[in-house]
């Protein structure tokens, strides 16, 4: 199929590519392939600067701007800055209280689409990702990956200042505040 024809499909709402694992539909084959990597954990795009991996080339390109362009989108309320316009828009919802994403099961509203998706997993009660070392299971693969590090001892996130290492990126970010960075 030609690129123009596939691009036009993005605007038509037609989504002929279905994920075999969860049934989610996509307008492009590339969209489906990137999504399927969320199930497999494959991250073929790796940042040469910080070694972080990405499932899709678009997420990788957005990330690379963090290293090259800086934060170009400032919030007019609190002066925090963001790398992307969508990041700023997501942040601004915290100030306005706007929660445009609603659960179609219980009508609870959320700031982001990702929060709704995560919330709906609780309704389904389907913890598909199980640890092969113990009885714990998780709704999201990434949570299982983090848990498995408690068995392996892997701590992939290290502080450049004091060399302390962490299981999760969020714990490293919190730690960085102790250095006043």
- Rounded distance, CA 95 to CA 110, Å? 14
Domains of the chain: 3-68 (3.30.160.60), 73-124 (3.30.160.60), 129-179 (3.30.160.60)
What pLDDT digit, counting tens, does each position of 146-162 carry? 999 999 999 988 888 88
- The CA-atom distances, in angstroms, between 92 and each of 63, 110, 133 are 21, 13, 42
Q: What is the pLDDT of residues 26-81, one digit of tens each?
A: 888 888 898 888 888 888 998 888 888 888 888 898 888 878 777 788 999 987 88
pTM of the model: 0.44
HSE-CB for 150 with a 13 A CA cutoff: 9
């Amino acid at each position: 199929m030609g690129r123009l024809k596939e691009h036009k499909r993005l605007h038509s709402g037609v989504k002929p590519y279905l994920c075999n694992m969860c049934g989610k539909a996509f307008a492009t084959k590339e969209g489906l392939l990137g999504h399927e990597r969320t199930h497999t954990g494959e991250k073929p795009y790796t940042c040469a600067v910080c070694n972080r991996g990405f499932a899709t080339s678009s997420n990788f390109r957005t990330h690379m701007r963090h290293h090259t362009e800086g934060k170009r989108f400032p919030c007019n309320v609190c002066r925090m800055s963001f790398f992307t316009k969508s990041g700023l828009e997501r942040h601004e919802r915290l100030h306005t209280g706007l929660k445009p994403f609603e659960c179609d099961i219980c009508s609870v509203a959320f700031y982001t689409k990702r929060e709704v998706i995560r919330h709906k997993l609780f309704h389904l009660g389907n913890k598909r990702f199980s640890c092969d070392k113990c009885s714990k299971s998780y709704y999201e693969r990434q949570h299982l990956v983090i848990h498995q590090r408690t068995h392996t001892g892997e701590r992939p996130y290290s502080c450049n200042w004091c060399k302390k290492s962490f299981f999760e990126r969020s714990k490293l970010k919190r730690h960085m505040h102790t250095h006043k960075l």
